[in-house]
């Protein structure tokens, strides 16, 4: 997957976790928690969904890499670069 495809996957996961949030004006450089009503369980749901969909293991010490959309995409790109994009 390329970076844009990864971004779309993250948006899809966020939409499932927080369906009432408006993701259309999400600022990729700002922390998700500053822009959305996400708690620590929601954050873990993101991690678990990535594990379920793509078998990506994200160690707890790497969670700070998933704070913003930009940092999440940058972190996931090497892990998902050989994964087929969802249709």
pLDDT, tens digit (0-9, with 9 covering 90-100), for 66-79: 999 999 999 999 99
Residues 5 and 9: their CA atoms lie apart, in Å, by: 6
* pTM, to two decimals: 0.91
Please report, for the domain that includes residue 69, its CATH number: 1.10.1200.10
Indicate the DSSP class of residue 59: -
Q: Is residue 85 part of a domain?
A: no
Q: Is residue 86 part of a domain?
A: no
| Domain count of the fold of the chain | 1
Q: 45-59 as b/e, with b when 16 or more CB fall inside 10 Å?
A: bbbebbeeebeeebe
Residues 30 and 43: their CA atoms lie apart, in Å, by: 15
3-class DSSP state of 68: strand
Q: Is residue 53 part of a domain?
A: yes
Residues 79 and 64: their CA atoms lie apart, in Å, by: 16
pLDDT, tens digit (0-9, with 9 covering 90-100), for 6-34: 999 999 999 999 999 999 999 999 999 99
């Amino acid at each position: 997957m390329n970076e844009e495809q990864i971004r779309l996957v993250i948006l899809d996961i966020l939409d499932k976790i927080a369906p009432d949030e408006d993701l259309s004006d999400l600022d990729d450089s700002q922390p998700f928690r500053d822009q959305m009503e996400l708690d620590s369980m929601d954050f873990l749901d993101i991690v678990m969904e990535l594990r379920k969909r793509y078998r990506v293991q994200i160690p707890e010490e790497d969670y700070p890499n998933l704070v913003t959309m930009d940092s999440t995409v940058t972190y996931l790109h090497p892990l998902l670069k050989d994964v087929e994009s969802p249709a």
